[in-house]
Amino acid sequence: MKPAKSTKPLYRGLLVALFWIGVWQAASMLVGKPVLFASPLDTLKALLALVPRGDYWLAVAGSLGRIALGFGLALLLGLLTGVAAYRSSLMKTLLSPLLTLMKTVPVASFIILVLVWFGSKQLAVIVALLVVFPQIYFSTLSGLSSRDSELLELSRVFRVPARRVAWQVYRPALMPYLKGACASALGMSWKAGIAAEVIGTPLHSIGEQMYLSKVYMATAELFAWTLTVILLSLLFEKAVLWLMGRVG
Amino acid sequence: MDIQIVGLSHRFGDKVIFQDFSLCLREGGLYGLTAPSGRGKTTLLRILLGLQKPDSAEISGGLRYSAVFQRDCLLPGQTPVEQLLYVRGGKRNRRECREFLAELLPGDSLEQPVEELSGGMQRRTAIARALWAESDCVLMDEPFIGLDPETLRHTMDFILAHRRSRTLLLSTHQKELLQDYGLEWITI
């Protein structure tokens, strides 16, 4: 019997997930050393052992809080500077070298510099901010520049209040760009943030826990933490995009 | 206040569009503007609206304009009612706005996104918007494009009913269809 049309994607998604979990299982059996390559079952066991522990949730809350803070600050700063650069070409020219620098400097260099200058406590905040900021800035600039210039002419002739022009002409032009940038920047903020934490090992962080897993060769635990990061990153992305969908 | 244009000269590349052109639009006058296409009807309207700078001219200022542009220039995804409220807004106006639009558009189209309306209905939305806005003078660039003769007459009646005492200038290449409306014709 064929499944109904509406359940087909779910059905197929489950099969795909099962397939890759099977590949993972096969690979772990092929390697044959749980210390090097944990199986799906080992990982699940490790995760179930972690979840009831208080320090698991402290690490989750710590990393989530810092990365979300960095992302939020980058969103705010990126929007503000993007708007400023759209309005003033001097501002755009002035910011250009800084943005090029931020885009090209390796994340590892940032991590080490921030560690030297500010220590490890707020490391993930600053690293997430540095990684996300250029993307928000450039998408804001492109989004605002994609506005319909004839609608702006019309607004000028009819003397439409600036606030209304911003909401009705600029916002719809900006949002698709901003959503696209956020979708990719969200994943990057997690990758860079966690990498920073592994290097800086601040207290109560996923990165610190991962580092400890490495020290104790607890591969299953490392996999469990990785799974945690994937889930957090997905949830965070869904939440942010949902919020943005409410704006337009 | 009358609108005075004195000594308008404008060229586009090496093509001379206006050479020492002068024009006076009396306050409250009703004008039709005709010219072969490419002779600067749109340019003249854009210069009056302050959207384009002529090479040289003296134009009396201080008036508030509303206009129908060459393109409809409607806000994407918004309904006709919202198009009008954009230029003269406030929630309290919504009812009045609906009644105003209902004279020109079928009732069920008023709350549909403009993309779902026909080209002619979008054009009429742009016309209604120009008349709904607060202004001293209404300029219309080929407002009847895409309208059949019957709709054209209905739309023209609507324009005359709602221009109040404002100066109105509309450009058209359908002069013969507008003979009975008492327009003063300007030919470039």
Q: What domains lie within chain B, and their CATH numbers?
A: 3-187 (3.40.50.300)
Task: Give the Cα separation of A59 and A202 in Å (integer).
Answer: 10
CB atoms closer than 10 angstroms to residue B150? 8
Query: What are the structure tokens assigned to A27, written together?
Result: 């690979």
A153 close to B (CB below 8 A)? yes
Q: What is the pLDDT of residue B103?
A: 95
Q: Output the pTM of the full model.
A: 0.85
Task: Give the Cα separation of A47 and B24 in Å (integer).
Answer: 83
Q: Which of B95, B100, B101, B149 is nearest to B121 (CA)?
A: B101
Query: Does residue A4 register a pLDDT over 70?
Result: no
Task: Give the Cα separation of A55 and A50 in Å (integer).
Answer: 8
Task: Give the nearest chain B residue to A158 (CA atoms).
Answer: B66
The minimal CB distance from A150 to the residues B66, B71, B86 is found for B71
B40 vs A88, A99, B12, B113, CA distance in Å? 33, 45, 10, 33
Query: Does residue A1 register a pLDDT over 60?
Result: no
B73 close to A (CB below 8 A)? yes
Query: Does residue A2 register a pLDDT over 70?
Result: no
- For the domain with range A39-146+180-247, which CATH number is right: 1.10.10.410, 3.90.1490.10, 1.10.132.20, 1.10.3720.10? 1.10.3720.10
Q: Are strands B167-171 and B30-34 parallel, antiparallel or unpaired?
A: parallel
Task: Give the Cα separation of A110 and A101 in Å (integer).
Answer: 11
**What confidence tens digit (pLDDT) does each residue in A75-113 have?**
999 999 999 999 999 999 999 999 999 989 998 998 999
A163 close to B (CB below 8 A)? no
A172 close to B (CB below 8 A)? yes
Query: What are the structure tokens assigned to A60, written together?
Result: 């989750």
- Does residue B168 sit in helix, strand or coil? strand
- Cβ–Cβ of A154/B73 closer than 8 Å? yes
CA B22 to chain A, closest CA, distance in angstroms equals 23
B18 close to A (CB below 8 A)? no
Residue A18's φ and ψ, nearest 5 degrees, are -60, -40
Confidence category of residue A157, pLDDT binned at 50, 70, 90:
very high
Q: What is the pLDDT of residue B39?
A: 84
pLDDT tens digits, chain B, 188 residues: what are they?
899 999 999 998 888 889 999 999 999 999 999 988 878 899 999 999 999 999 999 998 789 999 999 999 999 999 999 999 999 987 678 899 999 999 999 999 999 999 999 999 999 999 999 999 999 999 999 999 989 999 999 999 999 999 999 999 999 988 888 988 989 999 88
Q: What is the pLDDT of residue B105?
A: 95
